[in-house]
Chain A
Amino acid sequence: MPPAIRVGIDTGGTFTDVVAVDERTGRLVTTKTPSTPADPAQGFMTGLHRILDRIGAGADDVEAISHGTTVATNRLLEGKIDDLGFITTEGYEHILEIARQSVPDGYGNSYFWVKPPRIVPADRVRTVGGRLAFDGSEIRPFDEDDAVAAARFFRDRGISAIGVCFLHAYADPRHEQRMRDVLAREHPSASVSISSQVLREYREYERSVTTLVDAAVKPAIATYVRGIRDRLAGVTSGESVAFYVMKSNGGVLSADEVVDQPISTVLSGPAAGALGAAVIADAAGFDRVLTLDGGGTSTDVTVVLDGKPALTTEGSVGAYPSKIPMIDVVTVGSGGGSIAWISPERTLKVGPRSAGADPGPMCYGTGGREPTVTDAHVLLGRLPPGLLGGAITLDVAAVARIFDDLQAEAGAVLAREGFDTAQQRFVRTADLRYVGQAFEVRVDVPAGPLTPAATNAVAAAFHDEHRTLYGYDFRNDQRQPVEWVNLRVTGVGPIRRPEIAEIAPGGGAEASSLRPVYFDAWTDTAVFDRAALGAGDVVPGPAVIEEFGSTLPLYPGFQAVVDRFGNLIITRGPA
């Protein structure tokens, strides 16, 4: 029988969560282990060994490993910034200093606001002559001498991670490609990211920063991914286990591809959580869901509509804007380890400071001296004391051509990932706006030829979405034509989604113990072991439902019903 264990590993700020599924039986086990921020690969391997012990399999039985992480890459990012250089168009050497001139939050904050440090300090920025117009035509030719001088400047200073962003490179990449060639010749050890490859969209500041984040994480991610691959090779006897890294938009990439487009993975941890929650909620019969992924340091929230988590291009990586498509995860600095404090107004505040994994909440007894959310729940009895375990004339032919080109590009990547033509699927989207607007709304573009009916359908979808988002649209207003700004093709190589196993019917929920718990008053409260519950069992609140790695306080007036997949469906009052 061939090996058939698939493993998922999510490295968070506090814990590394691990899940394994046996494809033959559908059996699923989970575990968690403390993260090891100094060397995330260590926690990764510890988690792998622990989960294999739990499922009773060996490393050779593992078919594939998928890995999602945010914190690890953020840490890498923090450490790598010193070694970063930036090359841009003549006249724009201060683009990072200027940014978008905007001061966050309130009117008048400009008087006291202190700008955070820029991703590259101004003395590591070089400019190169040559200029394109917005349509990609050449105003001035690329200045080879400037390019060589820039390459040598960085080479001589040992700066080897370099981002390149030239004006209007989204319209035509040729100047950036020549810059890349010059760098390859003059400074061959440099790791280079060019904006036309990282993010082919207008807005030079955001594209520059996105490109620089890519350049910053590229060497470290390559080292990290190769390190894990080598360690995996060391524990398997035959050929190496397939190793995938989650992308921020919910897809996966093989380790080889990650090295070429690292920025697409940097927010993959929360994306994986949202995607998993969407799959489970969909199976349980809910198609409009808010997912809430509560961790030790923060809580990630996502909106899921029709089984699909919302995507955004307005995200950020750490302090830096990143326009790469990613699942729209809103992260709130509030988790189990969030520290409670009293504000100058004498009000109780929670977070965003967290006790994290080290020292952890006071109740861990590992040196934490400030009260956390977890401590409050322990004090209230909810947690057990011992924890853890339009109408404008659209050049349809041009649009169709661009879509075809993009599809060919995506197809080539999928082919490299081992998906033959028959398996490849493509999803087309376009960013539209009303002429005069400066921001776009993304809508799907159906497959097939771009007939007038098809483009009208896209415009109609845009009007709908605009109304949903902003409360109005200009559907029948001839004065407000619709403009197509960005075209995107997502190549999908379908990977098998694990079957969600059903659980056995229950025989009525039975409490495992009683303990006093505070809800609105101290009450002797039934405590249930989630693993002992079966399908159809009903638990009335107040109650506490415990499992490995999580605890659910069920408030008075609510009840939990166990569905056939083992999900707990909580509703107010008896159903």
Chain B
Amino acid sequence: MVRDHPIETMRPGDVYFHNDVYLSEGGIGHLPDLCVTAPVFHTERDGAAPRVVAFVQAFGHHDDIGGSVPGSMPSRATSVFEEGLMVPPIKLWDQGVPNEAALTIMTRNSRTPESLAADLDAECAACVMGARRMAELFDRYGRETVEACFEAIIERTTQTFRREVIAKIPPGRYVWEDYAEHDGVDPPRLHTQRIAVTRTDDDAAPPDLIIDFAGTSPQARGPINHSGDHADGAFLKKWLAPILRNLADTPERMAELDVNEGVVPLIEMRFPPPGTLLTPEFPAPTNARTFVILRLLGVLAGALAKAVDGRMPADQETIRYTGVYGHDADGRRYLMREVLGGGSGGRYYADGEDTVHVVPDSRNLPTEFSESRFPFVVERLGLAVDSGGPGLFRGGLGYHKHIRMLRDAHFMSIADRSILSCWGVRGGRAGRPFSVTIDPGGPNERHVDALADAEPVAAGETIRIRTTGGGGWGDPLQRPYDAVLRDLRWGKVSIEGARADYGVVATGPPDDPVIDQAASAALRAHVASRRGDEPFFDRGPGYPRLAQGRGVPDVDWL
């Protein structure tokens, strides 16, 4: 922003805007994320002209910014030009006056102009309000005090991460990789994302961690690239540092640790040359960039798990989008799209949680809300039984959502992890992958690809969505019988699942299952006796399919 609009040209009431991935140098990841920036002005007590002392910035993922499909997430895109309207850093409000020309161009290019206008207004108002309040803080306490507080907060983060997080990693080099399965354009294959993390020996001198992405696959033709190699990876460091918090002593403490600029000096990032998934070249498409940027949270977690005897969470899927669109009974165009979460991975202290989402406070849509607005009936919103990865600590469950359409429509989905699973660790097994079936049990039953822009659905047909279960943690044969019994009673594990996944023999109605402990002990002993050496990670049955029959990747062994 400051590169194109030098600070000395900024005036109170100005608001800046961009959504251009490349011209913002990775400041934003894909076009629907509209980013708004408001400078904060402060007048020194000596009466000099007000000057910029801070910025307030927000980005929000908007419904539609144009491009080749409703929702601006074309899974078949091969360039950024198909993904919607690109706006490089511009001044959107000039001293409080909105640039109506720019706004008109944006709304004209959107399929949901009213929503775009209103949501963008809300976003600008939030930043302006934030800037005003921040200015009040500067006025009240003075610039030096506020800036000293900024510095103290950042410095404290550096020290806390060093003391409570990074200190848990033994010095050494740990390598792991994971994959996106499909780029929407080429046939499914392994798109490798590889991290070699080095914990340096010298406690005193930064960086404490070196994260090297060498071995990451070439840029994909489809939209799963993430432009991450700008500003020495400063953005990416802050995207990935939250996963490091899992090394802290307790989940309560993990939640207290803030991630801010203070993590930047702790980490050095080494990127492969331009032209990889993480270093794409303009105009590579990026709308499904979460397949890389958020998958890397899990790659880093896996690499660290090898360093700390598995005391990191098993895998969870991050962001996916599913939805329907068409015309409602009054002939109005509608787009219903939601981010349905899935199960989180098992942890060394707890089972994974069911149907959670990586983005804080992002909520599912109440059925009573969506049915009043869109032409469908949500016949079921439940948990997908047996979807959680088996483990001493089981992975959380994914959703089962059944949407019965009242009018013809199109289904869309931007999802990974439909072939590969969320991995289990330290003996834990993979969870079940994402899947979509239309008209299940009916004459037109069909499976829909996880990357779908416009799958036709007829009125009366039901769309059955199952989201990912989290990976398991630890050996499922060691899961206590009481925990398996509770899962049976709570409908989280079936009688068949208990036998196949946990070596537990149970009978009886779902209300009142009974475990045969003698038979279970015998079954567990039998299963254990047939095991050979096992890798540290379990990726589920999808991996060999994409790996041309290769069994376990080398990096999965300790």
| Interface residue ranges, A against B (CB under 8 Å) | 91-95, 97-98, 100-115, 121-123, 131, 133-135, 139, 153, 167-168, 170, 202-205, 344-345, 434-438, 470-472, 474, 479-480
The answer, yes or no, to whether B141 is at the interface (CB within 8 Å) is no
Within 8 A of A (CB), among B19-75: none
* B358 and A123 contacting across the interface, CB-CB below 8 Å: no
Output the least CB separation between A165 and chain B (Å): 11
Known: A105-B255, A112-B245, A112-B251. A98 touches B357 (CB 8 A): no
Query: How many angstroms between the C-alpha atoms of A436 and B119 in the bound complex?
Result: 10
* B316 and A110 contacting across the interface, CB-CB below 8 Å: yes
Known: A108-B243, A112-B255, A345-B156. A102 touches B163 (CB 8 A): no
16 contacts across the A-B interface (CB closer than 8 A): A93-B491, A97-B355, A103-B357, A109-B360, A111-B246, A111-B301, A115-B356, A133-B377, A134-B368, A139-B377, A203-B369, A204-B368, A344-B163, A474-B118, A474-B121, A479-B114
Contact of B344 among A110, A471, A480 (CB under 8 A): A110
Query: How many angstroms between the C-alpha atoms of A302 and B544 in the bound complex?
Result: 60
Output the least CB separation between B316 and chain A (Å): 6
* A122 and B490 contacting across the interface, CB-CB below 8 Å: yes
* B356 and A202 contacting across the interface, CB-CB below 8 Å: no
Output the least CB separation between A433 and chain B (Å): 11
Contact of B164 among A100, A344, A435 (CB under 8 A): A344
What chain B residues lie within 8 Å of A131 (beta carbons)?
A: 377
On chain B, the number of residues with a Cβ less than 8 Å from chain A's Cβ atoms is: 69
Known: A91-B379, A102-B361, A133-B377. A113 touches B356 (CB 8 A): yes
* A480 and B118 contacting across the interface, CB-CB below 8 Å: yes
Within 8 A of A (CB), among B483-519: 489-492, 511
Q: B319-344: contact bitstring with A at CB < 8 Å (1 yes, 0 no)?
A: 00000000000000000000011001
The answer, yes or no, to whether B168 is at the interface (CB within 8 Å) is no
What chain A residues lie within 8 Å of B301 (beta carbons)?
A: 111
Query: How many angstroms between the C-alpha atoms of A479 and B371 in the bound complex?
Result: 23
* Interface secondary structure of A, over-half rule: loop
Query: How many angstroms between the C-alpha atoms of A123 and B512 in the bound complex?
Result: 9
* A97 and B383 contacting across the interface, CB-CB below 8 Å: yes
Q: B117-132: contact bitstring with A at CB < 8 Å (1 yes, 0 no)?
A: 1100110111011000
* A436 and B118 contacting across the interface, CB-CB below 8 Å: yes
The answer, yes or no, to whether B160 is at the interface (CB within 8 Å) is yes
The chain A residue sitting closest to B361, CB to CB, is: A102
What chain B residues lie within 8 Å of A471 (beta carbons)?
A: 125-126, 128-129
* B363 and A106 contacting across the interface, CB-CB below 8 Å: no
What chain B residues lie within 8 Å of A93 (beta carbons)?
A: 382, 491
Query: How many angstroms between the C-alpha atoms of A112 and B128 in the bound complex?
Result: 34
Query: How many angstroms between the C-alpha atoms of A134 and B376 in the bound complex?
Result: 11
Query: How many angstroms between the C-alpha atoms of A106 and B246 in the bound complex?
Result: 13
Known: A91-B381, A108-B245, A203-B369. A102 touches B313 (CB 8 A): no
What chain A residues lie within 8 Å of B377 (beta carbons)?
A: 131, 133, 139
The chain B residue sitting closest to A479, CB to CB, is: B114
The chain A residue sitting closest to B492, CB to CB, is: A122
* B359 and A107 contacting across the interface, CB-CB below 8 Å: yes
What chain A residues lie within 8 Å of B402 (beta carbons)?
A: 91
* A202 and B347 contacting across the interface, CB-CB below 8 Å: no
Contact of B369 among A91, A98, A202 (CB under 8 A): A202
* A202 and B117 contacting across the interface, CB-CB below 8 Å: no
What chain B residues lie within 8 Å of A94 (beta carbons)?
A: 354, 381-383, 491
Query: How many angstroms between the C-alpha atoms of A153 and B349 in the bound complex?
Result: 34
**What are the 4 closest A-B residue pairs judged by CB atoms, nearest first?**
A108-B242, A91-B380, A122-B490, A471-B125
The chain A residue sitting closest to B250, CB to CB, is: A112
Contact of A112 among B129, B246, B258 (CB under 8 A): B246
Known: A110-B316, A114-B350, A133-B371. A101 touches B362 (CB 8 A): yes
Output the least CB separation between A309 and chain B (Å): 24
The chain B residue sitting closest to A122, CB to CB, is: B490
The chain B residue sitting closest to A470, CB to CB, is: B125
Contact of B251 among A113, A135, A438 (CB under 8 A): A113
Output the least CB separation between A477 and chain B (Å): 8
* B360 and A98 contacting across the interface, CB-CB below 8 Å: no
Contact of B355 among A98, A104, A134 (CB under 8 A): A98
Query: How many angstroms between the C-alpha atoms of A102 and B344 in the bound complex?
Result: 12
The answer, yes or no, to whether B145 is at the interface (CB within 8 Å) is no
Query: How many angstroms between the C-alpha atoms of A48 and B545 in the bound complex?
Result: 77
* B126 and A110 contacting across the interface, CB-CB below 8 Å: no
Known: A94-B382, A95-B381, A115-B353. A134 touches B371 (CB 8 A): yes
Output the least CB separation between A122 and chain B (Å): 4
Known: A202-B369, A438-B369. A107 touches B358 (CB 8 A): yes
Query: How many angstroms between the C-alpha atoms of A106 and B115 in the bound complex?
Result: 26
Output the least CB separation between B495 and chain A (Å): 15
